Amino acid sequence: MSQCRYCGSSSYGGGCAYSPHKRHEHTGDDRKCEFCGSSSHGRGCPYSPTKAHRHGSGDKKCRWCGSTSNGSGCAYSPSRTHEK
């Protein structure tokens, strides 16, 4: 079971007293959004500060869009760069 990086809770969403954005943030799973646990990519995350799903790193895919591309061109990353 994954845990919030700031408080150790298994919860998703708001309520983390230790997070800078007051939301639980799970790391490590490249198949799930760090903020809501969804397998989706792109816009639509209710808990992400940017409203976009961000997955854990790994599997050589962009954390924001799931693409295997490198460099610029990610529509969902705040920096517009594919992050792995």
pLDDT of residue 1: 76
Give the pLDDT of the chain (84 residues) as one tens digit per residue: 789 999 999 999 999 999 999 999 998 889 999 999 999 999 999 999 999 999 998 878 999 999 999 999 999 999 999 999
pLDDT of residue 27: 87
Q: Considering its fold, how many domains does the chain have in total?
A: 1
Kindly report the pTM of this predicted structure: 0.87
User: Are the C-beta atoms of residues 68 and 61 closer than 8 Å to each other?
Assistant: yes
Contacts 24+ apart (CB under 8 A), 31-39: 31/55, 31/59, 32/2, 32/56, 36/12, 37/2, 37/12
Domain membership of residue 80 as a residue range: 1-84
pLDDT of residue 10: 95
